[in-house]
Structure 1
Amino acid sequence: MTDAKAPDSSRRSERSRRAIYDAALALVVEVGYGRTTIEGIAARAGVGKQTIYRWWPSKSAVLMEAFLDLAGQGTDGPGATGEGPARSYAFPDTGDLAADLRTVLRATVDEMNNPVVEGPTRALAAEGVLDAALGAQFVEKLLDPAIRLYVDRLRVAEEAGQVRPGIDHRIATELFVGPLYHRWLLRTLPLTHAYADALVDYALAGLAPRP
């Protein structure tokens, strides 16, 4: 008779970790950030709260890691070249700046409209306005990596003579993503591919080389 294998503690820990991620993201959508608690996450995940405190120092740390994990999983929208509130990929460089920007902004629209991502993103963004530390994490870990991709792509475009020299790449990036996030946050009008395409057309007209 062969001995039964000992339980794989690493696999058990990974299952618990994933259950905690899922619980945290579900709760923040259902009841909001303020009413989400470590106790509630633990109960939802079927683990003891001491398990959570062993891995994370706070509720915000759990949620931020869960959200970053969600971004890393990939969803059925942006694909390998998109980026959104929680996501960063290699920015396409086909040589056609307008086409590359449309690809990324359309992908962003798809992700912003994806309910799996939208709820947690709204909750974290809203709480980040009130909680300075969480807001700083949100910017550092989620927004800035995506912004840097735009900045790098615009720098390449400047070197190729596709935009006028001497532009502020960060401000130029805000011309594309700022209106998109504004419409998404306020929910005033539909967020569509046509809107993303219009942003590219309008912004590039202002960035084009001048005689």
Structure 2
Amino acid sequence: MTKQVLILGATGQIAGHAIDALLANSDDHLLLYTRHPQNLKNIDENRETVIKGDILKQAELDAAVAKADVIYANLRNPEIKQQAENIVNAMDKHGVKQLVWISSIGIYDEVPGKFGEWNNAELGGGQKDSYLGTYRSAADVVSASDIDYTIIRPAWLTNKDEVDYETTERGETFKGTEVSRKLIGNFVAKIIDDPAPYARKDFGVNKPNTDGDKPSWY
């Protein structure tokens, strides 16, 4: 069945990989939602519709969510908790159940050892208004909802052309230090295609055998 997939933050790098995977491996129609549509290139008008909008403006978001079967949110913003609240409200209003949400490694203090200490120092672990604090608050909004969410917490991201990965669930110790953006985009497409195994779950995602005190390029 063809789905209408609303991609929030469609100009992001991970979103670009997810778009490529969805176009290549599904019949889905993609609704590309962004404040900066001029940054989207090579649009296939038969498969993609560009929507200019701001997630912090509820009416604009509602109009887009009303057209969708699935929401994929790839966001980075100090107001991400408010964005999460707006998305959940719009999904409830229009009866949309599936959400794939990109979050951050370390929001649950799940990263062990020296790497965990380094990650917290870089991202502000334990501080409410830090990068990790705001992402945790947003993830809590999503997981407290009654929608069929999947939260993804990627390791530190690379631009490598690889799709090797392993996952850990919430409550398990995070593994590895890095993962490719291409892999995360492909994982998003996989979840959208077959959501049932991933519904109401929260995954850390990493490339196997990348354990260390910090990512290899630091």
Question: What TM-score do the two structures reach when normalised by structure 2?
Answer: 0.30
Whichever of the two has the greater Rg, that structure is 1
Larger fraction in helix: 1
Larger fraction in strand: 2
The answer to which structure, 1 or 2, has the higher relative contact order (CA under 8 A, 6+ apart) is 2
